[in-house]
Amino acid sequence: MDSEIKPFLDRTDSDIELNELNESKESLLSNGKEAPLKHLSKLDLFYLTIALAGVQFTWSVELAYGTPYLLSLGLPKSLTALVWLAGPLSGLIIQPLIGFYSDRCTSKYGRRRPYIIAGTLLVVCSILFISYSKEIGSFLAFGGDSQTITIWIAVIAFYGLDFAINVVQACCRALSIDVSPGDQQNDASIWASRMIGIGNIFGYFMGFIDLKSYLPFLGSTQLKCLCIIANAVLIITVALTCIKTEERVLSSNIENYDIKWYTPLVNIVQSMSHLPGPIQKICNVQFWSWIGWFPFLFYTTAWINYIYFKNNSSDGNEEEATRTGSFALLIYSIISLIASFILPSVKYFYDSISSDTPNDPQTFYRKVLVFSEIFLALVFFSTIGVSKVWHAVAIISLCGISWAVSMWVPFALIGEYLEIYNANQDSKNDDEEESDKLSSGIILGIHNMYVVLPQFVVTFLSSIFFALIKILEIQEDNFDSFGWVLRFGGIGAIISTFLVPKINFKVKRILP
């Protein structure tokens, strides 16, 4: 079997504890097989992860205004859920493929940066099509009924946006793991979490402000202004990461075989079937955790809109209602950012007083994940009976604590595991031409598949739910349909809680 499609074979049953793996990492540095990665300063970590802030800003615009905008175009509520299939489809298809090809990219600009730049250009184009879909639809209709054309343009642009965002996000995450030394994998994950929080705050803050009043030259609607700002933010942040980050160039003679059209698929399937136990367990936790997160991400603004109009049925304003949703998400993002600064300090304090095995972060991470999932479930279930806007805003805001954990802990565990495992692999295979190392691109791609698969479940079930409401002729003005979707997400969070203790941070020794 070709080495490029057998990443995790030939394992024995002898376990290696984390401290032994760290010794393997040190021995690797002295073997001369590969020069050690340089230590990253705080400024380096800032530049390395700032592109994620731009990506998250763009995504926050999509999440906050996506559903309300599609509904305003005349798309039925039951079909909006199908539009959100763009997310899981792109994550299921694009991220693993981009991981495969970027792992083997021999460009002089590095493995990840060419894909980051290409994905950014696609994001910019998709956002412009979304913001000007009505104008483009009217132009293509030649004076006729433009609604159907406008809806199709917006839907296609949303799909293009999700596909492109996944390209940029996947490569930014892989770049973070590639560039960071083993002892800074946790730092890189922390900084990535912070940048995502900053992107959220900036995005939802811009969504809360009445931009068309303060910046009328950017566009005639709130969405147009946001889209122009989102493009500018994304371009600037991606440029900083690509220019300021030093990425290793993959030697052109490492992967010089002819890649068949089916090779990526075979590689992904083979990698999934031999996924290391710790990575598999993390993926299982993520699957159920994101059963909880997707209802929150897609229907928060719509739920707050419902609560808003329930209290302002006569004089309510659609844009004001959406800005109220953005305000709730802004507070949630601020809490998430604060948590992303506090939680690492809690970890350092825990390490200083804990009797757990040295260099074994899994115990702390398990406890934090369990707390995060239980807390998230309780918050979702507390949406029952909410009738006041301030109450809804408070509930959404509290989710920021769990979001900070979700953006930090899983990636910290994966990055730490990959670094230690690969160091051990190299030290055990010094006399061989190459070792069965785990590539960050393909592993993160597979991990992302477990993150996006829940979206199929949520989209399918919510579409059926909304369709049943319409068939049964239930008065939606008096029925909290979006709230019940959020409560369904709480069930996923509870199941995830029971899977967290199964995460076991041990790996198999691979003998030469």
Rounded mean pLDDT, 193-221: 87
Per-residue pLDDT at 426: 61
Per-residue pLDDT at 476: 67
Per-residue pLDDT at 238: 97
pLDDT digit string (tens) for 277-308?
A: 888 999 999 999 999 998 998 888 888 888 88
Rounded mean pLDDT, 489-508: 83
Partner residues linked to 24 by β-bridges: none
pLDDT digit string (tens) for 344-380?
A: 888 888 777 766 555 566 778 888 999 999 999 999 9
Rounded mean pLDDT, 443-448: 82
Q: Taking each helix axis from N to C terminus, what angle separates 409-428 and 440-471, rounded to the nearest 10 degrees?
A: 150
Calpha distance 382→488 (Å, rounded): 12
Six token digits for residue 53? 């802030």
Residues in contact with 214: Cβ distance below 8 Å, sequence separation at least 6, in sequence order: none
Calpha distance 6→113 (Å, rounded): 26
Per-residue pLDDT at 31: 43
CA 375 remoteness from chain centre: 20
Is 126 or 65 the better-scoring residue by pLDDT?
126
Residue type, 473: E
Q: Please tell me the total number of residues recorded for the chain in this structure.
A: 512
Partner residues linked to 211 by β-bridges: none
Q: How high does pLDDT run on average in the chain?
A: 80
Calpha distance 57→49 (Å, rounded): 13
pLDDT digit string (tens) for 464-496?
A: 888 888 888 777 667 788 889 999 999 999 999
Calpha distance 395→327 (Å, rounded): 12
pLDDT digit string (tens) for 143-169?
A: 777 888 999 999 999 999 989 998 999
> Is residue 258 over pLDDT 80?
no
Per-residue pLDDT at 95: 75
Is 24 or 273 the better-scoring residue by pLDDT?
273
> Quick one: fold of 3-252+259-508?
Growth Hormone; Chain: A; (1.20.1250)
- Beta strands (DSSP E) in 339-442 are none
Tokens 């946790």 sit on residue: 186
Per-residue pLDDT at 28: 38
